[in-house]
């Protein structure tokens, strides 16, 4: 049984993850626009959709708990995207630089999900957060491998 006080804490944790997911969605969209390779464009667009789906799933959980789900990106995420845009202009939208920024974004997501999993969450919510975290780890590792390959080619 979840108490009202505990529900507020869980809603806060979930809203932080929603913000993180929205940041990821927006960040991957920017990367998809900036990158030239069609395979990377597809990958980034797919990751943006995955982040949107994760946010929607978390928003549903917040509603089930009687809360008001987050619906926007964070200020930090907005600033990061502006920095990515600026860096892309300066570097000529270099593939390695774009992948570096994607990896940095995934590092932020990993930290957010790890922090959430350190909290006391009801089992069914913890399972969702863990499943999403596992996806973040896979994304991070894939982006890192692509970045390393791009670095090796340059």
* Residue 69: half-sphere exposure toward Cβ, Cα within 13 Å: 19
Tens-digit pLDDT profile for residues 67-125? 999 886 655 656 555 655 555 555 566 888 888 888 888 998 999 999 999 999 999 99
**pLDDT at position 1, please?**
57
Domain ranges in the chain? 4-153
Assigned superfamily of 4-153: Ferritin, core subunit, four-helix bundle (1.20.1260.10)
Tens-digit pLDDT profile for residues 119-151? 999 999 999 999 999 999 999 999 999 999 988
Per the listing, tokens 């789900």 go with 69
Question: How far from 121 is each of 81, 107, 128, CA to CA, in Å?
Answer: 31, 22, 10
Question: How far from 38 is each of 3, 62, 103, 144, 153, CA to CA, in Å?
Answer: 49, 36, 19, 18, 17
Cα gap 74→119, rounded to integer Å: 21
């Amino acid at each position: 049984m979840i108490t009202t006080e505990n529900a507020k804490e869980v809603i806060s944790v979930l809203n932080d993850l929603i913000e993180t997911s929205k940041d990821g969605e927006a960040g991957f969209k920017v990367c998809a626009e900036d990158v030239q390779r069609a395979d990377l464009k597809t990958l980034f667009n797919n990751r943006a959709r995955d982040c949107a789906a994760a946010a929607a799933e978390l928003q549903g959980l917040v509603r089930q708990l009687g809360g008001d789900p987050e619906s926007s990106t964070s200020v930090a995420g907005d600033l990061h995207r502006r920095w990515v845009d600026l860096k892309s202009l300066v570097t000529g939208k270099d593939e390695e630089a774009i992948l570096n920024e994607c990896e940095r974004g995934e590092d932020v997501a990993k930290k957010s999900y790890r922090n959430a999993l350190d909290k006391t969450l009801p089992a069914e919510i913890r399972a969702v957060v863990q499943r999403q975290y596992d996806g973040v780890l896979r994304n991070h590792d894939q982006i890192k491998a692509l970045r390393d390959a791009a670095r090796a080619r340059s």
